Amino acid sequence: MTTREGSSAFVAPLLALAFGHMISNMVRTLPAISADVLSRDLAVSTEELAGLTGAYHFAFAAGQIPLGVALDRFGVRPVALVLLATVSLGGVLAALTGGAAGFLMAQIVLGLGCCGMLLCPMTLAAKLLSPARFGLWSGLIQGVGNVGMLLSASPLAWLVEHHGWRAGFWATAVMAVAVAALVARLVQPPQPRIDFGPRPRFLSEAAQVLRIGARSRLRPVVLLAFASFAVVIGVRGLWGGPWLMEVKGLSRIDAGALMLVATLALIAGPLLAGLLDRRLGHRRGLLAAGHGLAALFLLLLAGGGPGGWLSQLFGRSMLPTSADMALLFAFGLAISIQPLLFAMTRAAVPPEDAGKALSAVNLSFFLGAAMLQAASGAVGSAGGSGAAIAFLALVLLGCSLVFLRMTRGAP
């Protein structure tokens, strides 16, 4: 492909693929605003629901290794179309499910379908852009994708309130079909291979994904990625709703409105991260500072609950919801530095290995989300949503400190 970096011919297919990432963000954060009705209809507790939705992330993580091989072997367009068809099927299954087992199966199908929704546009950009420009574009892709969290705030809160949680999954299925049509129209088919020599075996290429992720230059990135997305999905995708509705006493619509404000930071933040990377450089420092501040803001959020240490410090029974809104907004801005993890990854490998390297990091993103969300369910069962949020913050802070130590001397 010879598309110039700034041309509309490049931007249009990139945006079409980023819309797929938008759908995946909407799907994975839908339970946060419908946790109570989901728990009631499926006859499970909020903590058990954390385990069910965690299956999405385990399936997502399991798909990363074959995904990385498929992107480098078959190209972005055919992989994206197969994934979008799978997402549509998962949305239908979730909408028709009759119990916890059916919902679990739907989450697995959705996780497999969504596993490449971020990496498809990232891989297209990685193969066409220089490492220096990739940081900016990775932020743009993430910002567009995070609009899905915006959709799962007030708009889906209204939809769930008036038509039930199944309507959200029907909307997912329809949107996946629409985005597939855009991808089929705008994304060019991959160029045929010029070298007709034998390909490595699929299992050999799959093992290469793990070997690339284990390289010394990528180990710190993989470690920080393990906690980075887990806190976003833990707060925005599960515990944020119960915290605002059950602890702070907000209605579903009001909680959705507050989530909407917080989600704006997750849309604007990646764009800001890309600009900071381009203007300032120092990716190591930006990543450590952003993740460390994000952890601090979550600890302050949990401390502002009933009887919390921050509430006591201010002499109040609990902090007002305006403080929650400010802290969640600040958290969203700080954690949005995470696209620079993909930029560090791209800079560490040649273009032909970009799909595998990005998949290795994305594997850590979602394996961490699955494992830490399951662990947060146990913590939340014992201490409530505030304890679960604090637990996620402490894990993130620990990973940020180790990342700093492992990258000592790096730019």
47-70 residue pLDDT tens: 677 778 878 878 888 888 888 788
Which residues lie below 8 Å from residue 371, measured CB to CB, with a gap of 6+?
230
So what's the pLDDT on residue 273? 83
Contact 343, 134 (CB under 8 A): yes
So what's the pLDDT on residue 113? 94
From the options 3.30.1310.10, 3.40.50.150, 3.40.50.300, 1.20.1250.20, give the CATH code of 8-186+205-406.
1.20.1250.20
User: Which pLDDT tens digit goes with each residue over 293-340?
Assistant: 999 999 999 999 998 999 999 999 899 999 999 999 999 999 989 888
User: Which pLDDT tens digit goes with each residue over 186-216?
Assistant: 988 876 554 545 556 666 666 777 777 777 7
Angle, helix 283-303 to helix 321-335, in steps of 10 degrees = 160
- Three-class DSSP category at 409: coil
Looking at per-residue pLDDT, the higher value among 300 and 39 belongs to: 300
Contact 259, 30 (CB under 8 A): no
Mean pLDDT, the chain, rounded, equals 83
So what's the pLDDT on residue 4? 45
- Three-class DSSP category at 349: coil
Tally of CB atoms within 10 A around 81: 18
Sketch the domain layout of the chain as residue ranges: 8-186+205-406
408 Ramachandran zone, left/alpha/beta (phi>0; psi -120 to 50): beta
Looking at per-residue pLDDT, the higher value among 34 and 371 belongs to: 371
> Residues 377-392: what's their mean pLDDT?
90
What percent of the chain is modeled with pLDDT above 70?
A: 88
Least confident of 2-11, 103-112, 142-151, 369-378: 2-11
> Residues 76-99: what's their mean pLDDT?
92
Say whether pLDDT at 403 is over 60.
yes
Name the phi and psi angles at 45, rounded to 5.
-80, 170
So what's the pLDDT on residue 259? 78
Say whether pLDDT at 10 is over 50.
yes
Which residues lie below 8 Å from residue 317, measured CB to CB, with a gap of 6+?
306, 307, 311
User: Which pLDDT tens digit goes with each residue over 99-155?
Assistant: 888 989 999 999 999 988 988 998 888 777 766 677 677 777 878 887 877 776 667
So what's the pLDDT on residue 192? 58
Which residues lie below 8 Å from residue 298, measured CB to CB, with a gap of 6+?
231, 235, 327, 331, 389, 390, 392, 393, 396
